[in-house]
Amino acid sequence: MLSKKKTMEALDIIHDMFPEAEAELNYSNEFELTIAVLLSAQATDISVNKVTDHLFKKYKTPEDYLNVPLEELENDIRTIGLYRTKAKNIQKLCRDLIDKFDGKVPTNYDDLITLAGVGRKTANVVLSVAFETPRIAVDTHVERVSKRLGIARWKDNVTEVEETLMRKIPMDRWSKAHHQLIFFGRYHCLARNPKCFDCPLLYMCREGQKRKRKLEKQKAK
């Protein structure tokens, strides 16, 4: 595994590659962000933004989501994967916001994860982006990059990856590093066709070096 020093060396390079990395979901307040992140599970930000472009014009408050039949909300988000489950969770979440939190998105982790459809990743994104609380949210990109580079172990679960990143990265860089790791995974270290041979991190990346050796062997045959 990479040491703290090597981890920061990698992050500094990723920072140079994606200095302006930030959340790509469209939203105008913490409530919209929460809905958008909930919708983004197993969906791309691009597909979510297409849906929320009209969704956030129609629904402004938690009450708005509850004032329509479930079937209507399902139809409004049906292009998103798992739309039926997500529609149910949105209405449950909105009911809890009204009944338990005065209609406002809670600002602490323990309350956030009590909301329907809000897991660890979603809560961390909301805290980091909406409330500027230092957090690292581990999505599929962050997990993949962390394991390929050797920052975390292949066998680590999502929580262990998060804890490892929090241990190796200074707190004041958590939120920025989270977005930069996402951008690095989304646009460079892709799941199927990573750009290993054009990567400034190849010299320290065990996965990239493995791919390079494999290609060299194939060429030598």
What residues act catalytically? 121, 139
Q: Are the CB atoms for 31 and 62 separated by under 8 Å?
A: yes
